């Protein structure tokens, strides 16, 4: 269930999401905050996606890593988490960590200092990022919550995953707006992609079919708050 409450450090009203009885806060930046564990989770950073494309001749601006890390840095400064969980596809490809500029690498090392850092293995980055600290796991279990990269294909209680890059299109007044979102039904949750170059997949896409046993809700990222939106007002595209 979504409830509105004022979060001390945020700007807008906080949006709380329950997953198997654990209350978590969905942040408008696209990250998940678990106050009880002082844990910050982000999915699909896709660091070095720009240089990954450049390798193949598409010279995307080389600023995605610095952009993603600086967004992450803001959250880490605000919450000072004990643990950061990167839910997989943290690097766009296996060579990504090796292509970081020294400056970006230093910034990342700085963020990791003084806290637990978990790299969940993703399909883009099945191996631990070369030369970086942090524990590399396929799955992390904390109480009734399981963090993994790819959502299990069938309803799976207590699972928090990424991979799908959920986005929602909400229509009204003859217009529509498309934004990244969390999507969940109270038993499980999928996080939006956090990376600056990570696109979104509409939650009405077939890829989401079958994940939820109950009607799901989209928790849509607004400017300074997250909006809980019912399935019925969502649109394709």
Partner 1 sequence: MSLRRASRAVAPPLPAPFADWFAARGWAPRPHQLELLAKTQAGHSTLLIAPTGAGKTLAGFLPSLIALHERPKKAPIGGRGIHTLYISPLKALAVDIARNLGGPVAEMGLPVRLETRTGDTPVHKRQRQKLKPPDILLTTPEQAALLLSAPDAERFFADLDTVILDELHSLVVSKRGDLLSLDLARLRTLRPGLKAIGLSATVAEPDDLRGWLVGQSPDKPAPEKPALSDLVVVRGGAKPDISILASDERVPWAGHSARYAFADIYDRIATHQLALLFVNTRSQAEMVFQELWRINNRDLPIALHHGSLDATQRRKVEAAMAAGQLRAVVCTSTLDLGIDWGDVDLVINIGAPKGASRLAQRIGRANHRLDEPSKAILVPANRFEVMECQAALDANYLGAQDTPAIRPGALDVLAQHILGMACARPFDADALYRETISAYPYRGLDRETFDKAVDFVATGGYALRTYERFARIRKGPDGLWRITHPRVAQQYRLNVGTIIEAPLLNVRLTRSRRAVVAARGGRVLGKIEESFIEALAPGDTFLFAGLILRFEGLFENEVIATRTADDTPKIPIYAGGKFPLSTYLAAGVRAMLADEGKWTVLPDQVSDWLRIQKERSVLPRADQLLVETFPRGNRHYLVAYPFEGRLAHQTLGMLLTRRLERARLRPTGFVATDYSLGVWGLGDLGQAFADGKPTIAELFDEDMLGDDLDAWMAESYLLKRMFRNCALISGLIEKRHPGKEKSGRQVTVSSDLIYDVLRKHEPDHILIKATWADASSGLLDIGRVSDMLARIKGRIVLKRLDRISPLAVPVMLEIGKESIVGEAHEDVLREAADDLVRDAMGNG
Asked if 220 is part of the footprint of partner 1 (rule: CB under 8 A), the reply reads yes
Candidates 72-80, 122-130, 145-153, 171-179; binding stretch for partner 1 (CB under 8 A): 171-179
Asked if 169 is part of the footprint of partner 1 (rule: CB under 8 A), the reply reads yes
Asked if 71 is part of the footprint of partner 1 (rule: CB under 8 A), the reply reads no
Q: How far apart are CA 49 and CA 1, in angstroms?
A: 35
Closer by beta carbon to partner 1, 78 or else 178:
178
The single residue among 16, 44, 51, 69 that binds partner 1, judged by CB under 8 A, is 51
Query: Taken in order 123, 33, 180, 18, is the CA torsion positive or negative?
Result: positive
Three-state DSSP state, 156? coil
Asked if 11 is part of the footprint of partner 1 (rule: CB under 8 A), the reply reads no
Structure letter (DSSP) for residue 43: B
Q: Are the C-beta atoms of 216 and 164 separated by less than 8 Å?
A: no
Q: How far apart are CA 127 and CA 206, in angstroms?
A: 29
Q: How far is the CB of 171 from partner 1 (least distance, A)?
A: 6
The single residue among 7, 23, 38, 67 that binds partner 1, judged by CB under 8 A, is 67
Give the ranges where the chain is alpha helix by DSSP (H).
49-55, 64-79, 96-99, 102-112
Asked if 102 is part of the footprint of partner 1 (rule: CB under 8 A), the reply reads no
Site string for partner 1, 175-194 (x = CB under 8 A): xxxxx---------------
Asked if 230 is part of the footprint of partner 1 (rule: CB under 8 A), the reply reads yes
Asked if 88 is part of the footprint of partner 1 (rule: CB under 8 A), the reply reads no
Query: Nearest 5°: CA angle at 126, between 93 and 100?
Result: 35
135-152 b/e (C-beta count within 10 Å ≥ 16 → b): ebbeebebeebbbbbbbe
Closer by beta carbon to partner 1, 80 or else 101:
101
Query: Looking up tokens 């690097």, which residue turns up?
Result: 91
Candidates 34-42, 73-81, 119-127, 197-205; binding stretch for partner 1 (CB under 8 A): 197-205
């Amino acid at each position: 269930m979504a409830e509105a409450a004022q979060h001390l450090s945020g700007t807008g009203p906080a949006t709380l999401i329950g997953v198997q009885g654990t209350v978590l806060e969905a942040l408008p930046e696209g990250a998940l905050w678990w106050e009880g564990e002082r844990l910050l989770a982000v999915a699909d950073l896709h660091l070095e996606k720009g240089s990954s494309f450049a390798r193949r001749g598409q010279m995307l601006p080389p600023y995605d890593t610095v952009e993603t890390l600086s967004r992450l840095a803001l959250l880490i400064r605000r919450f000072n988490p004990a643990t950061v969980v990167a839910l997989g596809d943290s690097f766009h490809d296996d060579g990504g960590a090796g292509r970081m500029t020294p400056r970006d690498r230093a910034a990342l090392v700085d963020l990791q200092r003084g806290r637990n850092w978990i790299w969940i293995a993703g399909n883009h980055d099945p191996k631990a990022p070369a030369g970086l600290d942090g524990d590399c796991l396929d799955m992390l279990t904390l109480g009734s919550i399981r963090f993994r990269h790819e959502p299990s294909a069938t309803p799976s209680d207590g699972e928090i995953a990424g991979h799908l890059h959920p986005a929602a299109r909400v229509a009204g007044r003859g217009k529509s707006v498309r934004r990244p979102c969390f999507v969940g039904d109270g038993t499980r949750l999928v996080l939006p992609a956090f990376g600056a170059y990570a696109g979104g997949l509409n939650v009405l896409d077939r890829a989401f079919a079958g994940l939820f046993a109950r009607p799901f809700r989209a928790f849509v990222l607004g400017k300074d708050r997250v909006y809980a939106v019912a399935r019925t007002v969502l649109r394709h595209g």
